[in-house]
């Protein structure tokens, strides 16, 4: 084989070089190139031979590694001199496409004739010349203007496919990334070709008035138009991929503003000033320059015809929507970058200008979408109502509405930077946006007044999607506007008649389907009207339950729904969910037998699959998880409200019986990856949303288990699902799975994380629901406990770091373990209880300040549950109490004080409490320790005063010491000042408890007076340092609040025990007694400000004038 390939290589070079030999030169007499170019058939065969032997050239790297480089030179020469023949052009594009596939053959050290190893750089010039639109000329510049054959469709299609292959290659030249010339050339070519096709409503059958050649020409033009559109999308993706953030945003803005100008027909007018001379470098100038460049790019295409053809408007609008979504992905993947926030975008633009640059508008100086929000909204709204000669253009209108949807995704939560009154930035265009969406929703009634077609059905579907997005972002606040928008999308009783699930052989297709009464309407897409309405209703209801729509918007929708059609609507949603699941399953099967069976598939809502348009089928497949969730929720709610003799209840339960296996199977298929298709497959679903909605459906079944009175749950089904969720999703998210599971998890994470949060939340909630209802479910608690405790054990062993991102998962598993503990077998409950107590204390100890508030309540609840029905001894709980006090876990200590006997708690942990209060440097610990101690002392019954005496004998000195240190600011440090008032207040309260105990106990007067004398000395010092309200001390760090609480304590003692109060005053020094008396008088007098009589003014007699 190697020898044959070598001979073929020699034949190629000999045949090519033979045209330039001396013998041929004598015969040709200086016209070697012309004669060489005239042999088109020979050159096409030569190119085909080079293409054929390309894959084999890697075997000759050691012998002659420069062969591919010489082949590139031969192909370039052939196309340069014989590029007018379609066969040569076709073979040339195929050669460069295959050379791009084997780009490793042309490496930098393998170039001998050509100066670049980049295939795109070699082929780009002649590829663009093939796609150059023809221009009418009166006088030809050269002979090729009249005789060129570059126009044939086959050559143009091959050039488009070759360019697409080059765009998908990582070998694309860097200068083409930042240059917009290729995009302009493709736009111009598309503008020329999109006018050479049949009308979109033209019949599929060939008319007798048209020849077969004309019909084939229309079809070929349609093909090249589709391929060019695909090429434009591939070019955009290639230019953005793998670039720096600034370059990506610059490229996206270039595409976005050019698309805006194409849709609007905004071009550079003749004589308009576009030079860059005498322009200052400012943000406003950059914004103006960005718009000017966008108009200049569009002018290349609009120069042929303005306004442009509707096909070009449609593709430009689609590109604008794709660019906005791409910029959102870039923003979510880059920290500190925001394209939709005005302040952040303005700051970033200012920073780029400050960094400097030679060009006014480039990748280092460019604009952002928020600066052009008005232009973008205007473009979207104008495209949403596009017409031509007073006729609707639904294709352009669909693209316009999709731009509005993308704008809501980008700016739906952004506040208006101009008004700063809490309104959203898009609400200033509410009248335009509502009018555009309303126009799309009216297509169901208006399509009868114009040419019927499937595009109007799709327009209504995208209008329903836009309305849902507006509700999701809380855009509509006016109830009247809401009612007008909802009127076209709400289902009527005639559209959704109630129907039972069919028995074997029973045909209920006519009651569950929709057919057009208009014979000229498109029957394959007409069901899209009812499916879109059903999908909108289901999405609003489910999104409201999942918290994706605020309750105000959800209530406005529910108020307009007819309550008597909720159950019929749920039945139709169930039928659509079953059909959608089966359609998706049949598409996923790869064997030929399954595919042939799927073509004749008959569903509940359609007679035959062949009767469905691809758009209708895609909508059913995409929405089946939403349909299932809505149907399960609504049917269960209707059964709960219905009476026992209701005829609808048995039918509803039968529908639920069919939906449960679909939810389980759909969940399994989504997680296992059997539904993951290529990106080009129109039935590809977002797995995270599918899994989340299936989980929500299962949660409804679990929570309403009492309503479902038949054995719907398989014994091992739920535990298998929990195992699948924890291993494939939750453990992978926490980093506990192996490499294979981790890579599987990545597919569930979208770039913005919207659906991922929903998926994780629903997964955790399902596990919680199952653990809460484990008594009545066929689930083994031991197996479930192992799955629940595994991530908690990983946290305890520091395999997982607790962060704000995963804390909700940890809290959810703590709640699940609490539910399991209540229903755990008695023989193994003691072991589980000890493990959970140790786990709770470990998690509470390791929690840092950012998450401690989020997890403390959950840990406290679990610890309380362990205490209430404990299997542990008092001695073991005493050790737990000592551990909590020693490690500063005062929330846990407080929980123990509310459930354990206080005698056990205080006697076992009093030393640890004393040591914690004695550490003066731990300011953050003092507040929580005093609060916990005070609450425990207040809980002590009056029947056990000895326990208060025991506690105060150990901690009384430390509490008084803290009162003195904090009131006088003796040892300030971190967290000292922010905890100062609280520590002083709690210390006073603890001393108040001590005073109340001494007052009620039979104690000698001398001991009582000694206690009050020591306490009064500290309080007097605090008042002298901090002062009183309206009586400041003037000392640095003084706080009158502390002085007032000390004065209030004096007054309380004086009123409660006046005899002891007077006895204490007699043993105090004169200075301290005077301060105390002044504080008491000030508190009893309401801290009135001292009166300073102003000096009387002398009468000025000179001021009187006669």
Q: What is the pLDDT of residue 12?
A: 81
Q: State pTM to two decimals.
A: 0.82
Q: Does the pLDDT at position 53 exceed 70?
A: yes
Cα–Cα distance, 555 to 547 (Å, whole number): 13
Whole-angstrom Cα distance, residue 190 to residue 1046? 86
pLDDT at residue 674 in the model: 41
C-alpha triplet 545, 550, 553: angle, nearest 5°: 105
Residues 919-927 have a mean pLDDT of 82
Strand partners, 415: 424
- Rounded CA-CA distance 7/1092 in Å is 119
Neighbours of 395 (CB within 10 A): 21
DSSP class of residue 415 equals B
Mean pLDDT of 893-902: 87
Under the banding of pLDDT at 50, 70 and 90, the label for residue 697 is: very high
Whether the link from the prior residue into 414 is cis, omega within 30° of 0, is no
Query: Quick one: angle between helices 1040-1056 and 1058-1066, nearest 10?
Result: 120
Mean pLDDT of 78-90: 77
Confidence category of residue 224, pLDDT binned at 50, 70, 90: confident
Token match 């407080």: residue? 894
pLDDT greater than 50 at residue 679: no
3 state SS of 365: strand
What is the rounded distance in angstroms from the CA atom of residue 158 to the CA atom of residue 307? 30
pLDDT digits (tens, 9 = 90+) for 733-750: 888 765 444 444 444 544
Distance CA 968, CA 972 (A): 10
Which residues, at least 6 apart from 237, have a Cβ–Cβ distance to it below 8 Å? 167
Per-residue confidence at 137, pLDDT binned at 50, 70, 90?
very low
Instruction: Tell me the two tokens of residue 707.
Output: 């309503």
The DSSP 8-state label assigned to residue 1098 in this structure reads P
How far is CA 817 from each of CA 759, 803, 820, rounded to the nearest angstrom? 21, 20, 5
CA distance 825 to 90: 77
Measured between alpha carbons, how far is 824 from 683 in angstroms, rounded to an integer?
45
Say if residues 415 and 474 touch (Cβ distance below 8 Å): no
| DSSP type of residue 105 | G
3-state secondary structure of 237: helix
Lowest mean pLDDT among 92-96, 171-175, 911-915: 171-175
Residue written as token pair 């209504």: 460
User: From CA 462, how far away is CA 529, in angstroms rounded?
Assistant: 11
> Maximum distance among all alpha carbons in the chain?
140
Give one DSSP letter per residue of 608-665, joined into a string: -GGGS-HHHHHHHHHHHHHHHHHHHHHHHHHHHHS-TT-SHHHHHHHHHHHHHHHHHH
The total of other beta-carbon atoms located within 10 Å of residue 531's CB is: 24
pLDDT of 238: 87
Span 843-871, mean pLDDT? 85
Q: How many CB atoms lie within 10 A of CB 773?
A: 16
Query: Do 998 and 939 form a contact (C-beta atoms < 8 A)?
Result: no
Between 156-170, 270-284, 610-624, 1065-1079, the lowest mean confidence (pLDDT) is in 270-284
Map residue 179 onto helix, strand or coil.
Answer: coil
pLDDT band at 275 (very low <50, low <70, confident <90, very high): low
Q: What is the rounded CA–CA span in Å between residue 946 and residue 273?
A: 95
**14-47 confidence digits (pLDDT tens):** 777 776 665 555 555 556 556 666 677 888 888 8
More confident residue, 67 or 677: 67
Structure token pair of residue 262: 């194409």
Instruction: Mark 492-516 as b/e (b = at least 16 C-beta within 10 Å).
Output: eeebbebbbbeeeeeebbebbbbeb
Q: What is the pLDDT of residue 677?
A: 45
Residue 149 has pLDDT above 50, yes or no: no
Q: What is the mean pLDDT of residues 284-294?
A: 88
pLDDT digits (tens, 9 = 90+) for 566-611: 889 999 999 999 999 998 888 766 555 555 555 566 778 887 787 7
Share of the chain above pLDDT 70, in %: 81
Tens of pLDDT, residues 436-450 = 999 999 987 765 555
Please report where in the chains the tokens 């509005």 appear, as a residue: 404
Residue with tokens 């040591």: 915
> In which region does residue 1028 sit, left (phi positive, over 0), alpha (psi from -120 to 50) or beta (all else)?
beta
Average pLDDT over residues 307-321: 91
**What letter does residue 557 receive in the DSSP assignment?**
H
On the question of pLDDT at 531 being above 60, the answer is yes
Q: Determine the average pLDDT of the residues in 414-424.
A: 82
Average pLDDT, the chain: 81
* Per-residue pLDDT band at 100 (split at 50, 70, 90): confident
Q: Which candidate, 253, 254, 248, 255, places its Cα nearest to that of 232? A: 255
Q: Select the more confidently predicted residue: 463 or 365.
A: 463
Q: How many CB atoms lie within 10 A of CB 944?
A: 12
DSSP string, 137-201: -SS-SSTHHHH-----HHHHHHHHHHHHHHHTSTT--HHHHH--HHHHHHHHHHHHHTTSS--TT
Please determine, for residue 140, whether its predicted confidence score (pLDDT) is greater than 80: no
Query: In the predicted model, is pLDDT for residue 682 greater than 60?
Result: no
Which is more confident, 1106 or 94? Answer: 94
pLDDT at 714 > cutoff 80: no
pLDDT at 117 over 80: no
Taking phi over 0 as left and psi of -120 to 50 as alpha, with beta for the rest, 307 belongs to beta
Q: How many CB atoms lie within 10 A of CB 1030?
A: 12
User: What is the model's pLDDT at position 198?
Assistant: 54
């Amino acid at each position: 084989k190697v020898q044959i390939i070598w001979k073929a290589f020699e034949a190629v070079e000999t045949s090519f070089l033979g045209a330039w030999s001396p013998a041929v030169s004598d015969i040709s007499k200086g016209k070697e190139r012309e004669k060489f170019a005239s042999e088109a058939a020979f050159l096409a065969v030569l190119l085909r031979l080079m293409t054929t032997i390309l894959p084999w050239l890697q075997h000759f790297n050691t012998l002659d590694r420069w062969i591919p480089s010489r082949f590139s030179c031969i192909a370039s020469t052939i196309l340069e001199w014989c590029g007018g023949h379609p066969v040569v052009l076709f073979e040339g594009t195929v050669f460069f496409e295959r050379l791009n596939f084997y780009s490793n053959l042309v490496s930098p050290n393998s170039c001998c004739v050509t100066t670049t190893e980049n295939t795109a750089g070699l082929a780009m010039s002649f590829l663009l010349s093939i796609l150059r639109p023809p221009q009418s000329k009166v006088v030809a510049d050269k002979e090729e203007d009249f005789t060129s054959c570059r126009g044939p469709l086959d050559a143009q299609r091959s050039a488009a496919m070759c360019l697409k292959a080059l765009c998908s290659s990582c070998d694309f030249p860097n200068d083409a990334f930042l240059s917009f010339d290729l995009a302009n050339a493709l736009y111009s070519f598309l503008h020329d070709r999109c006018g050479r096709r049949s009308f979109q409503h033209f019949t599929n059958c060939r008319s007798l008035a048209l020849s077969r050649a004309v019909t084939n020409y229309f079809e070929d033009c349609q093909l090249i138009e589709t391929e060019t559109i695909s090429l434009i999308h591939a070019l955009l993706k290639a230019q953005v991929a793998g670039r720096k953030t600034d370059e990506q945003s610059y490229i996206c803005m270039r595409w976005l503003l050019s698309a805006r100008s194409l849709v609007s027909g905004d071009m550079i007018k003749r004589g308009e000033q576009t030079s860059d001379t005498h322009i200052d470098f400012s943000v406003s100038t950059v914004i103006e320059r960005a718009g000017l460049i966008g108009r200049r790019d569009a002018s290349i295409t609009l120069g042929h015809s303005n306004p442009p053809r509707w096909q070009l408007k449609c593709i430009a609008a689609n590109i604008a929507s794709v660019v906005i979504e791409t910029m959102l992905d870039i923003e979510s993947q880059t920290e500190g970058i925001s394209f939709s926030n005005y302040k952040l975008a303005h700051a970033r633009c200012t920073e780029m200008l400050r960094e400097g640059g030679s060009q006014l508008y480039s990748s280092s100086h460019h604009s952002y979408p928020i600066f052009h929000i008005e232009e973008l909204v205007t473009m979207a709204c104008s495209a949403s109502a596009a017409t031509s000669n007073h006729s609707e253009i639904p294709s352009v209108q669909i693209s316009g509405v999709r731009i509005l949807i993308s704008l809501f995704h980008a700016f739906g939560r952004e506040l208006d930077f101009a008004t700063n009154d809490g309104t959203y930035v898009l609400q200033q265009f509410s009248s335009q946006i509502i009018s555009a969406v309303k126009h799309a929703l009216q297509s169901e009634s208006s399509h009868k007044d114009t040419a019927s077609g499937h595009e109007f059905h799709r327009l209504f579907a995208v209008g329903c999607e836009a309305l849902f997005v507006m509700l999701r972002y809380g855009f509509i606040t006016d109830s009247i506007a809401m009612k007008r928008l909802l009127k076209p999308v709400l289902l009527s009783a005639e559209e959704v008649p109630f129907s039972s699930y069919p028995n074997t052989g029973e045909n209920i297709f006519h009651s569950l389907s929709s057919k057009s009464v208009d014979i000229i309407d498109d029957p394959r897409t007409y069901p899209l009207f009812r499916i879109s309405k059903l999908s909108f209703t289901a999405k609003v209801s489910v999104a409201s339950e999942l918290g994706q729509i605020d309750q105000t918007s959800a209530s406005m929708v529910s108020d307009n729904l007819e309550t008597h059609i909720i159950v019929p609507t749920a039945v139709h949603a169930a039928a659509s969910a079953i059909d959608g699941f089966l359609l998706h399953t049949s598409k996923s099967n790869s064997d030929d037998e399954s595919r042939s069976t799927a073509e004749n598939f008959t569903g509940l809502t359609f007679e035959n699959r062949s009767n469905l348009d691809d758009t209708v089928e895609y909508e059913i497949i995409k929405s089946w998880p939403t349909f299932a969730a809505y149907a399960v929720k609504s049917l269960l709610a209707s059964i709960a409200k219905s009476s026992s003799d209701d005829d609808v209840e048995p039918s509803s339960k039968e529908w639920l019986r069919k939906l449960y296996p679909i939810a389980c199977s759909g969940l399994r298929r989504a997680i296992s990856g059997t539904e993951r298709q290529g990106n080009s497959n129109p039935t590809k679903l977002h797995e995270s949303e599918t899994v989340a909605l299936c989980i929500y459906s299962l949660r409804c079944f679990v929570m309403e288990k009492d309503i479902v009175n038949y054995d719907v749950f398989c014994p091992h089904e739920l535990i298998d699902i929990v195992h699948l969720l924890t291993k494939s999703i939750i453990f992978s998210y926490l980093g506990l799975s192996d490499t294979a599971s981790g890579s599987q998890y990545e597919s569930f994470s979208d770039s913005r994380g919207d659906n991922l949060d929903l998926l994780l939340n629903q997964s955790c909630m399902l596990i919680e629901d199952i653990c809460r209802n484990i008594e009545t479910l066929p689930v083994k608690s031991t197996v479930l406990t192992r799955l629940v405790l595994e991530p908690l054990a990983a946290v305890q062993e520091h395999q997982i770091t607790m962060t704000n991102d995963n804390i909700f998962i940890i809290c959810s598993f703590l709640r699940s373990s609490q539910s399991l503990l209540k229903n755990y077998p008695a023989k193994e409950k003691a072991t589980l209880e000890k493990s959970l107590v140790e786990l709770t204390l470990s998690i509470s100890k390791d929690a840092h300040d950012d998450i401690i508030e989020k997890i403390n309540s959950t840990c406290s609840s679990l610890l309380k549950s362990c205490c209430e029905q404990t299997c542990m001894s008092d001695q073991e709980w005493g050790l737990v109490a000592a551990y909590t006090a020693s490690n500063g876990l005062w929330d846990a200590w407080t929980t123990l004080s509310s459930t354990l006997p206080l005698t056990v708690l205080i006697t076992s942990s009093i030393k640890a409490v004393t040591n914690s209060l004695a550490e003066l440097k731990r300011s953050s610990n003092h507040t929580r320790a005093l609060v916990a101690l005070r609450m425990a002392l207040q809980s002590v019954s009056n029947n056990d005063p000895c326990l208060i005496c025991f506690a105060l004998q150990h901690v009384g000195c430390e509490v008084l010491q803290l009162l003195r240190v904090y009131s006088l600011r003796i040892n300030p440090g971190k967290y000292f000042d922010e905890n100062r008032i609280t520590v002083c207040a709690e210390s006073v309260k603890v001393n108040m408890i001590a005073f109340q105990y001494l007052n009620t106990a039979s104690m000698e007067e001398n001991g009582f007076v000694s206690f009050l004398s020591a306490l009064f000395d500290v309080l007097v010092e605090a008042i002298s340092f901090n002062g009183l309200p309206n009586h400041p001390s003037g000392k640095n760090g003084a706080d009158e609040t502390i002085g007032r609480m000390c004065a209030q304590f004096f007054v309380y003692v004086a009123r409660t025990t006046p005899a002891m109060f007077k006895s204490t005053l007699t043993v105090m020094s004169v200075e301290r007694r005077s301060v105390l008396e002044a504080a008491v008088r000030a508190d009893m007098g309401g801290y009135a400000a001292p009166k300073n009589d102003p000096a009387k003014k002398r009468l000025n007699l000179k001021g009187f004038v006669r």
